[in-house]
Amino acid sequence: MRQPTLEEVAARAGVSKMTASRALRGARDVSAASIEKVKVAAEQLGYVGNQLALSLSSRRTNLIGVVIPSMSNIVFPEVLGGIIGGLEGSGLQPVFGVSDYDLDKERDIIRNMLSWQPAALIITGLDQPEETRKLLRQSDIPVIQIMDLDGEPIDFVVGLSHTQAGREMAEAILASGRKRIGYIGSAVDRDKRAIKRRAGFEAVLQDNGRYFVSVETSLEASSSRLGRDLTGRLLARHPDLDCIYCSNDDMAAGSLFACMKLGRAVPDDILIAGFNGLEITSALPVRIATSTSPRRAIGEQAAQLALAAMNGNGRDLARRIELRAEITLGDAER
């Protein structure tokens, strides 16, 4: 009554285990007649196969480990969608883990994944501590770090420079004539990439003899609610701001809603800028500025890179793929 094994399928088909194995895998050295018999037997028994045995025996798995920091920020599920898409038809199975932006947790997840002997690993960010990096180097499989470019890659990296994204947004905003700029930030202790964007933004401000007029941050994860609340506080203290740079689009949406509630005209009176280019920004009644991160493309490219690296052409592969975030300022009427 258990799941039937290959042995049983073979017995029923009147051939050896080995022949049955070959028949089901479509390998050579089997007669058409045998293939037919085995397929019929497998069908009748509802044979499913055992990947554990397969992988152990053949010493390769079809697993790709993927570690992301969060599930509640839609950006990462979108990256996963890209990875799944990029793996489509390759026969590879992604396995996910969520680190909650916790580097210790990330290490544990990676260790756990390695014990499944994955064919490759895709992890988020470049900020892994030495212990994790050692684990990854020892494992001797392709490691692809995604999302970020600012840092020292282990192996392959696909992403964008967040410092640069912050810098470009600052330049665009300054060019548009905004002068009194505030900042609201979420998860300021954990979200390394938001920190880099802010740093890039502030660097440009400084180069132009400016600085953030006011800053409101929180340890909480980003959300539109948090964006709304921090904006409320920011504007209570500094009603004269003409721009608010937000750690991401969730925050920016909330910031916009706070402005609407206060009767502030966006973007004429005050410009709201975020990051990611979430779908919702294209439906809002007024435009906010954002840089559209190529998150789906990052997933796809990472998946394809993983495939290529597994197939041995590791030598002549680009070890660094830079994708760019595209800025929309939203000053213009659509």
With vertex at residue 153, the alpha carbon angle to CA 148 and CA 157, rounded to the nearest 5 degrees, is: 55
Chosen residue from 16, 44, 112, 311 binding its own copies by CB under 8 A: 112
Positive/negative CA dihedral, 219, 224, 230, 233: negative
Q: Which x/- pattern, by CB under 8 A, does the window 127-156 give for its own copies? A: -------xx--xxx----------------
Q: Residue 93 binds what, of DNA, its own copies, none (CB under 5 to 8 Å, by partner type)?
A: its own copies
Instruction: Please say which residue, 38 or 98, places its beta carbon nearer to DNA.
Output: 38
- Edge to edge, what strands does the sheet with 63-68 contain? 93-98, 63-68, 120-124, 143-148, 156-160, 320-322
Tokens of 74: 């839609």
Eight-state DSSP code of residue 193: H
Q: How far is the CB of 318 from its own copies (least distance, A)?
A: 26
Amino acid identity at 74? I
Cβ closest to its own copies, residue 114 vs residue 174: 114
298 in Cβ contact with 159 (< 8 Å): yes
The residue within the footprint of DNA, chosen from 2, 46, 140, 334 (CB under 7 A), is 2
- What backbone phi and psi angles, to 5 degrees, belong to 126? -115, 10
In the chain, which residue ranges form alpha helices assigned H by DSSP? 6-13, 17-25, 32-45, 51-58, 75-87, 103-114, 130-139, 162-175, 192-207, 224-237, 249-261, 295-310
**26 makes contact with its own copies (CB under 8 A):** no
Considering only residues 32 to 51 of the shown chain, the ones binding DNA according to CB under 7 A are 32-34, 49-50
The closest alpha carbon to 106, from 132, 142, 135, 136, belongs to 132
199 binds its own copies (CB under 8 A): no
Options 13-21, 89-97, 193-201, 284-292: segment touching DNA (CB under 7 A): 13-21
Task: Determine the length of the chain.
Answer: 334
Residue 29, contacted partner among DNA, its own copies, none, CB below 5-8 A by kind: DNA
Q: Which long-range contacts (CB under 8 A, 24 or more apart) does 84-87 make?
A: 84/299, 84/303, 85/296, 85/299, 85/300, 85/303, 86/299, 86/300, 86/301, 86/302, 86/303, 86/304, 86/307, 87/303, 87/306, 87/307
Site string for DNA, 59-78 (x = CB under 7 A): x-------------------
Tokens for 37?
Answer: 């018999």
Binding of its own copies by 31 (CB under 8 A): no
User: From its own copies, DNA, none, which one binds at residue 285 (CB under 5 to 8 Å depending on kind)?
Assistant: its own copies
The count of chain residues that interact with DNA, using the rule CB under 7 A, is 29
x/- binding map, residues 58-87, to its own copies, per CB under 8 A?
A: ---x---------xx-x-xxx-xx--x---
Task: Please tell me the distance from the alpha carbon of residue 88 to that of residue 160, in angstroms, as a whole number.
Answer: 24
Query: If you search the block for the tokens 């402005």, which residue do you land on?
Result: 259
Nearest in space to 125 (alpha carbons), one of 102, 88, 151 = 151
50 in contact with its own copies (CB under 8 A)? yes
Q: Which does 257 bind (CB under 5 to 8 A by kind): DNA, its own copies, none?
A: its own copies
Task: Kindly list the residues in this chain that would bind its own copies in the complex (CB under 8 A).
Answer: 1-3, 46, 48-56, 61, 71-72, 74, 76-78, 80-81, 84, 93-96, 98, 111-112, 114-117, 134-135, 138-140, 223-225, 227-228, 253-254, 257-258, 260-261, 279-280, 282-285
Task: Kindly list the residues in this chain that would bind DNA in the complex (CB under 7 A).
Answer: 2, 5-7, 15-19, 21, 24-25, 27-34, 49-50, 52-54, 56-59
